[in-house]
Amino acid sequence: MNPSYFPNSAKINSSNHLEVGGYDLTELAERFGTPLYVIDERTVRDTAKEYKEALNEFYPNSLPIFASKALSLQAIFSILYQEGFGLDVVSAGELFTAQSIKFPGEKIYLHGNNKSMEELEMASDYEGTKVIIDNFNDIEILRKLGKPIDALLRLTPGVECHTHEYIKTGHLDSKFGFDLDQLEDAIEKIKSISNINLIGLHAHIGSQIFEIAPYQDAAKILLGSFVKLKEKYGLEFSELNVGGGFGIHYTEQDDPPSINDVIKKLSETVKSLVSEFKLKEPKLIIEPGRSIVGRAGVTVYTVGASKEVPEGSYYISVDGGMADNPRSITYQAEYEACLANRVQSDNLKKYTLAGRYCESGDILIKDLELPVDVQSGDLIAVFGTGAYNYSMSSNYNRVPKPTMVLLNNGEAEVILRKETLEDILRNDILPTRLANLKEKVH
């Protein structure tokens, strides 16, 4: 049985190599080099189908939208469109990516706590795109643009959840959204602007969440606001967006609820409250991101140097690290890994998996159990790297970003080409007066 953090298609073949999508990762590394981002298409589609099937069963009047900040690529957007998803975008770049493949505007929602005039104008000009209003500045920019736009208002519901401090977004002291005591002021301002059509409320309580109750609590607060605004202003909202942040298995210790359970219990809560509050049933919007692509991703590295510290750690260094996966150094994120070219072994010891970058904190995994004879040239496969690894990657130390391949039924297709050294210099500008290195050095 595969570990819970494996992609759905992963298996150990007769050569004791790791396969994903019917492709031996050792052969893949030879073909494309390392570091290498790998995405299992089957896992992406299977997970998307789980969400769609659960929503169709428990709350048919719904739309799942992919939180595209997790992995913003044309190929991923195309797959999720085929699976019936919309998109949550937070920048001109993400919106432009969607527009480049003609993703339907009526299924796109623009988020962000500091949207620019350019971003809001792009959204207004792309027919059907909706805006999540996060603050009074959004309202003022939309007023100045004067273009008709459907919008939802983002609230900070004050719901706590057990997650990392940096990825909590629904508590009261947050940069995101309107506090509940600002709600009526926001509504008054919006009502005075003819081009903004307010259709619903939104909240997002955090990320990598393993509990269902916080979503139910947030829904109750949002629907309670539906009631207040209906009574005071006669507003009848048509959309309820409860955000995303659904957790995944990064390690065997992680214990997220099933997608079916989350949707079932959330749907039951919303239906019950809608009935209790005598509201018209709103369309239910959810925003899964990490849970769609996280477990679909594997990053393959090649082992290089090693170092044993007396009475300390045994370090093995790989040809990637914090630039292609900043989550470990940023969030102290934990991962599982194995040797892709020797998956199973009875004789193991603990290693510290170090990155190649010039930071002492560039450590991908501590206390990683691998065969005792790990050596230079072995391949390390790190699991659960499909979400936020490429999205948050950098060119630290001027290292090019890796290739990404999409695997499906033994086929490997490049969906992100590896950067070249020329790409690194693409935006450099050297003033003429500095171009002659033969000039006298002072």
Residue 59 in tokens: 């709350």
Distance, in Å, from the CA atom of 63 to the CA atom of 105, rounded to the nearest integer, reads 14
Describe the strand order of the beta sheet including 23-24 as a list of residue ranges.
Answer: 11-12, 18-20, 23-24
* Residue 427: other Cβ atoms inside 10 A: 6
Which residue of the set 309, 358, 421, 430 is catalytic? 358
The closest alpha carbon to 370, from 395, 397, 398, 339, belongs to: 339
Bridge-based pairing state of the strands 196-202 and 149-156: parallel
Most distant pair of Cα atoms in the chain: their distance: 82
The H or E element containing residue 369 is strand 363-371
Give yes or no for a contact between 142 and 160, defined as CB atoms under 8 angstroms apart: no
Half-sphere exposure of 56 (CA within 13 A, CB side): 9
| Residue 338 is a catalytic residue | no
Distance, in Å, from the CA atom of 212 to the CA atom of 207, rounded to the nearest integer, reads 12
Give yes or no for a contact between 206 and 163, defined as CB atoms under 8 angstroms apart: yes
Distance, in Å, from the CA atom of 206 to the CA atom of 209, rounded to the nearest integer, reads 7
Find where tokens 């991908």 sit.
364
The conformation of residue 284, written as its DSSP 8-state character, comes to: E
Give yes or no for a contact between 86 and 110, defined as CB atoms under 8 angstroms apart: no
Angle between helix 259-276 and helix 41-58 axes, rounded to 10 deg: 30
The closest alpha carbon to 80, from 95, 98, 96, 62, belongs to: 98
Active site residues: 358
